Structure 1
């Protein structure tokens, strides 16, 4: 019994040392971003911009093409199309919706949302679904090119959206104006609270708010590559054409990499790698609302793990393989941050394993065990720093969530931290297993997120997601 107790304490010491070291390294990384953001805030460079009502509905300087890939999205695509057409007052854009012949429900819903509006073009993929989102986007890009040849005009911008998005009325004018001076612009994404899922769906609000109010603001200021979120992002026609030419030289059908699980992220990085300029923009309208895309994120644990596993697999594992590493210091730092997901999963798993070990040791001591291994002063100091950094992270998480969603959501953000950690652990494991499968010759498996509710309905007082 005494030997088992010593062995358990030895495991405790090793886990403490491993977890504390990597936790502090990650904390130093995060605090570096925090300090950069604080400096930008103090100098006024991190403040949200403002647009006037006239700017929100201003005509576009050039035609815009909006691409939406849709497979089995009958529950949401009609709401997305109908809402976009109602709030975007401009006439000089074409909304391309990619569907499949073996998905008649989605086709019918998209047609219902479009009505007789000539600004919508529904494109039926020649292949049966499901393929991949990137493959469908390449089909839409081909339709875009056909229209340019047929009608003799050229689009100025290419904007990406998902089937479940609730767009902001000022989005197109903001993107169009920004693309007069840069090649790629990303606007924020705002996960909408779901009363039926305050824990799983709610943790997306916490993470996206902190990322899109701080991390990407710092990234933009440092001049590093801005990853595309796949929604609310616009590319100049020239940069998309250049990437498409490069893909075709490599044997691809278009600008989107069908073999990559996060083709949107990769596209944003490629803009920077190709010498293009990028911007992340935070602006608010006359009501103080953020010009951002609103959407419901997964409300079930299984769906959230599957989605985040795809992100980790695509960004961390495939990103390393496909994009390599940048030679620029700022971009190298940001790439390391993007790809730390698998390591974070391991460190978090060790941290929660420590909780179990500490519980077993506490039980043994309550039952009369007296033997204890001494904790070194260095480890004690590391644990103190870990506690202080955790307190700081909690303050930051509360502050950003409370600012955007209110005090109650800010308090919930603190309680959701263990939920977010559990999802990260499970997603990291799933991503690693998927990556190992591809190394053994298996095909990259696309696991699509299912959508059954739309924020437009909640905004209109309709049904909430379940």
Structure 2
């Protein structure tokens, strides 16, 4: 007789807890869903206006039709590399073959305790007039920003020796598959803008279905972010954050970000120096552009690369992004700018709260199942949902279906129908990784506040076989 009241009391407590968590999750999901819905409305409204007003009279520009720059200049390409011996040579050789006789020089930053990467770059550089190997005077890993500053100093030394100035600086990673048209596109666009970002298209995953699904969820997210969100940001006059690859900075504007130009424009204590640079350029009155343009073959001029295909690597990478954007960015960059910029920064910094809301939503499902099982053995009164909460849940169902439709649409446009259909169930994997990444980011950030320095927590990369990989 003593067990039943205890069981009933426990069940009643679970009912109350379930209701409160459900209310929190429902409100949080509704706010996030409305936020995304507004982005969709802006995007499709802008697209319709451009199709009717602009492209009804003017043909869309493509790579072959792009005019040459009125003031052509030499382009510096920065490639920071820590433990990249398995990809860096292939990346550099592909860039050389793709860019041909374009006016550029690639600066590769390596570390003295990474002999394999030094040797890989040196083997390419031995007969290359377009490549400079830069070895850090500190053992690695430091941070990517610290390595970029090393390349900045090497670039300035070459400028002083040759009595000239580079026109722009392009950022790339050691695993990037660059596009043949990007040097000419950047050379033209930097005449008008201080930061130019091209799309990033993750390559589809390889291997077993689980590894493919983890890798492909990056493609799902970039298909929406670089197929829709950045276009909306630019249209609203908000900042266009750099993705760290396939982006170009006007040389003098990048120099203006530095407290000491001789040292470098990037803060070596940051993990997302590229993102912050984009926002700071906006704060300084600079102009940014996100450019989606097709080449002669109808393909988007973009950078392609493999992304992590294991849970551990994906969590570490996304935790680094969360620290730099959602946590450190809040402290360092504040909320400057008008309403559109405030809105976009709020979206950028919602990762931790969004992960908490998603965790609460999944927890409500677990509690609901637990209560359903308890109801089979312990009679207890259920707590009916209020009409307001019921209506909110139906509204969230609509937002979820809309979100799934948008994910399918943009992924199918970027990768095909089959990938679009697979993007819907892959949302569960993305949510799982996002929750784990937010947890890791919080602990790492708290440690940094206690004095433990942040480090380049990079993931292992691989370069595609360009004969077989799309």
Q: Into which bin does the TM-score normalised by the smaller protein fall? A: over 0.9
Given the alignment, which residue of 199, 209, 219 partners 2:223? 209
Query: 2-side partners of 1:384 and 1:127: how far apart?
Result: 57
Report the count of equivalent residues.
456
What is the CA distance between 1:126 and its match in structure 2? 1.8
Q: Is 1:218 equivalent to 2:227 in the alignment?
A: no
Given the alignment, which residue of 161, 179, 184 partners 2:190? 179
**Structure 2 stretches of 5 or more lacking a match?**
1-6
Query: 2-side partners of 1:100 and 1:56: how far apart?
Result: 40
List structure 1 segments (4+ residues) > 6 angstroms apart after TM superposition: 45-48, 56-60
- Do the aligned partners of residues 83 and 273 (structure 1) sit closer, same or farther apart at CA in structure 2, a change above 3 Å counting? same
Matches within 5 A, 1:214-253: 214-244=228-258, 247-248=259-260, 253=263
Query: 2-side partners of 1:303 and 1:434: how far apart?
Result: 15
TM-score scaled by structure 2? 0.93
**Structure 1 stretches of 5 or more lacking a match?**
none
Q: Is 1:77 equivalent to 2:88 in the alignment?
A: yes
What is the CA distance between 1:332 and its match in structure 2? 0.4
Q: Give the match for residue 454 of structure 1.
A: 463
- 1:422-448, Cα deviation, whole Å (9 max, x unpaired): 000000111111111122222223311
TM-score scaled by structure 1? 0.94
What is the CA distance between 1:112 and its match in structure 2? 3.0
- 1:74-117, Cα deviation, whole Å (9 max, x unpaired): 01101110000000023411111111222121112123344522
Query: 1-side partners of 2:112 and 2:60: how far apart?
Result: 43
Query: 1-side partners of 2:14 and 2:34: how far apart?
Result: 30
Q: Is 1:441 equivalent to 2:451 in the alignment?
A: yes
Query: 1-side partners of 2:122 and 2:347: how far apart?
Result: 42
Given the alignment, which residue of 13, 20, 28 partners 1:7? 13
- 1:126-175, Cα deviation, whole Å (9 max, x unpaired): 22222211111101100100000101111111110001100010111111
What is the CA distance between 1:360 and its match in structure 2? 0.5
Q: Is 1:199 equivalent to 2:213 in the alignment?
A: yes
Query: 1-side partners of 2:304 and 2:222: how far apart?
Result: 11
What is the CA distance between 1:450 and its match in structure 2? 1.5
What is the CA distance between 1:307 and its match in structure 2? 0.5
- C-alpha RMSD of matched pairs (Å): 2.0
Query: 1-side partners of 2:155 and 2:421: how far apart?
Result: 46
Q: Give the match for residue 19 of structure 1.
A: 25
What is the CA distance between 1:53 and its match in structure 2? 3.1
Matches within 5 A, 1:117-132: 117-132=128-143
Q: Give the match for residue 147 of structure 1.
A: 158
Query: 2-side partners of 1:57 and 1:305: how far apart?
Result: 42
Q: Is the 8 A contact 2:8 2:378 kept in 1?
A: no
- 1:194-225, Cα deviation, whole Å (9 max, x unpaired): 13222110100000110001000000101101
Given the alignment, which residue of 340, 353, 375 partners 1:365? 375
Which secondary structure does the structure 1 equivalent of 2:212 belong to?
coil
Q: Give the match for residue 307 of structure 1.
A: 317
Q: Give the match for residue 4 of structure 2.
A: none
Given the alignment, which residue of 15, 19, 35 partners 2:41? 35
Q: Is the 8 A contact 2:63 2:294 kept in 1?
A: no
Q: Give the match for residue 306 of structure 2.
A: 296
What is the CA distance between 1:59 and its match in structure 2? 11
Q: Give the match for residue 342 of structure 1.
A: 352
